[in-house]
Amino acid sequence: MCLLRENRGPGQQPSFKGALILESWPIYRVMGDGTVAPNVVPNELALKIYQDMVLLRTFDEKALNLQRQGRVGTFPPSLGQEATEIGSAHALSKQDWMAPSYRDHGALYVHGVPFENVILFAMGRAGSLAGDVRALPSSIPIATHLPHAVGLAMAARMQGEDAVAIAYFGDGGTSEGDFHEALNFAGVFKAPVIFLCQNNGWAISTPVSRQTGSATLAQKAEAYGIRGRRVDGNDALAVYQVVRESRERALAGHGPTLIEAVTYRLGPHTTADDPTRYRDTEEVGAWRGDRDPIVRLGAYLDQQGILTADDLEKIRVTALEWVNQAVEAAEAMPPVTPLDMFEHVYATMPPRLIQQLQDFEGSDR
C-alpha cells in the first residue's frame, strides 16, 4: 500500500491523502450519526454504566476540592474519559486481572475496589487495595505495568484459569520501551491480555503528533502480530462491546488485542498541571457538550426510554451521598505514623531495615 503524507508543522496532526490508513482502522461506535454498530448491551447494564460514570465524575469533583484543601495529594482527574474507564471495566469478569495507570480510579471501583480505598491512595496512605480484588496498585511510572499485565495473563493461562489481564495506559505510554516489550512478548506467546490505550490527545503537554508518526495507535499492533482495534472512547457502549469481544477472543486462544480508545482529557493532567498553557479553549470546547461521554450516554438512554429526568436527579444525589460517605470513611481511619514507611516493602524485612527501624524507634525524633 502506498502512503502519501503531507508536510505538517509542530503540533499538527498528520494529514493523509486518501486517508488510506485511517480507512483501514475505522473507529467502532454504537452511538452517533451515520453507520454504527448495533447495541448489544442490556438496558439494565447500560443504566448501571451510566450511573457509575456519574459516580466517577462526582468523585473527581470531590477529590479536586479535597486536593485544594490539602486533604489529598496530587490528583489526576478522569474528566472526559469516564466512558472508556467504566465501559471497559464492566466488560471484565471478577477473575480477570487489572493493571491500572494512575488515572483509572473508576475502573478499579467497578472491578471491586471501594472508593474509600481509592481515596487512601490519593492520600498516599497504605490500604488502598482490597485484598480480594485482582488488581495491581495504580502505576505512577509510565507503561512499566504493561509487562506485569502480560505476566499475569500468562500465569492465569498456566494455572488453567478462565481469566485475562487488562492494562490501562495513555497515548504517551506508547513511546516507552515497556510498551514495545510487552506487546512483543504477548504477541509471540499469544498471551490472553488486553492493552487498552486511552488516547486522550495529550501526554501532559505533549500532543499525539509528537509521540508518533503513525496515523493511529491501533496500527502499531501489526508490528507485533496481534490484533488492533480503534473505538470511540466517548461511547461507553462501544467500549464495552470491543473489550468484551477482545476478552472472549483472548480466552479462545487467539491472543492479545491492542485497543485505541479515542477520547479527550477535558481537565488537567493532574492538579499540578495548567492545561491552558499548552492548548487553546476552542479545542477543549469542541469536546464538551454533545461529545461529553456522560451527556452522550444520557441522551441515548433517554431516547431509548431507559432514563428519565427524575432518574437523572436521583442518580446525581445518590452519587454525591456515596462519595461523601467514602471520604468520611477514609478520613476516619487511624492516621499514619513514620513507622509505616518500614512496612509493605519486603515480606521479610532485611537486616539493614531492621537496624534503621530500631534506630528510629530509639531516637527522640
What's the whole-number average pLDDT of the chain? 90
Distance CA 304, CA 296 (A): 13
Q: How does residue 20 score in pLDDT terms, banded at 50, 70 and 90?
A: low
Q: How does residue 113 score in pLDDT terms, banded at 50, 70 and 90?
A: very high
Indicate which residue of 105, 134, 145, 269 is catalytic.
Answer: 269
pLDDT, position 10 = 39
Give mean pLDDT, residues 102-115. Answer: 94
Q: How does residue 257 score in pLDDT terms, banded at 50, 70 and 90?
A: very high
pLDDT, position 128 = 66
- The answer to whether the predicted template modeling score (pTM) of the entire model surpasses 0.85 is yes
Residue 191 has pLDDT above 80, yes or no: yes
What is the percent of the chain with per-residue pLDDT over 70, rounded to a whole number? 92
- Which superfamily does 20-334 belong to? Thiamin diphosphate (ThDP)-binding fold, Pyr/PP domains (3.40.50.970)
Indicate which residue of 168, 265, 296, 300 is catalytic.
Answer: 265
CB 297 within 8 A of CB 50: yes
Give mean pLDDT, residues 256-266. Answer: 97
pLDDT, position 364 = 64
Residue 178 has pLDDT above 50, yes or no: yes
Half-sphere exposure of 143 toward its Cβ, with a 13 Å CA cutoff? Answer: 18
Q: How does residue 127 score in pLDDT terms, banded at 50, 70 and 90?
A: low
Indicate which residue of 148, 278, 279, 316 is catalytic.
Answer: 278
Residue 9 or 49, more confident: 49
Give mean pLDDT, residues 231-260. Answer: 98
The reply to whether 148 belongs to the active site is: no
pLDDT, position 15 = 42
pLDDT, position 121 = 85
Q: How does residue 6 score in pLDDT terms, banded at 50, 70 and 90?
A: very low
Distance CA 97, CA 321 (A): 29
Distance CA 360, CA 89 (A): 43
Residue 35 has pLDDT above 80, yes or no: no
Looking at residue 67, its amino acid is: Q
Q: How does residue 215 score in pLDDT terms, banded at 50, 70 and 90?
A: very high
Query: What are the boundaries of each domain within the chain?
Result: 20-334, 338-365
Range with the poorest average pLDDT among 38-52, 114-128, 166-180 = 114-128
Residue 311 or 6, more confident: 311
Distance CA 171, CA 265 (A): 11
Distance CA 280, CA 284 (A): 7
pLDDT, position 34 = 66
Residue 130 has pLDDT above 80, yes or no: no
Q: How does residue 12 score in pLDDT terms, banded at 50, 70 and 90?
A: very low
Give mean pLDDT, residues 218-231. Answer: 97
pLDDT, position 46 = 97
Q: What are the φ/ψ torsions at residue 169 (nearest 5 degrees)?
A: -160, 165
The reply to whether 269 belongs to the active site is: yes
Give mean pLDDT, residues 201-216. Answer: 94
Q: How does residue 21 score in pLDDT terms, banded at 50, 70 and 90?
A: low
pLDDT, position 339 = 83
Residue 19 has pLDDT above 80, yes or no: no
Give mean pLDDT, residues 150-178. Answer: 97
pLDDT, position 8 = 37
Environment class of residue 182 by beta-carbon count within 10 Å: exposed (0-12), middle (13-18) or buried (19+)? buried
Q: How does residue 32 score in pLDDT terms, banded at 50, 70 and 90?
A: confident
Long-range CB pairs of 113-118, under 8 A, 24+ apart, other chains included:
114/326, 115/59, 115/322, 115/323, 115/326, 116/326, 116/327, 116/329, 116/330, 117/330, 118/59, 118/326
The reply to whether 278 belongs to the active site is: yes
Residue 318 has pLDDT above 60, yes or no: yes
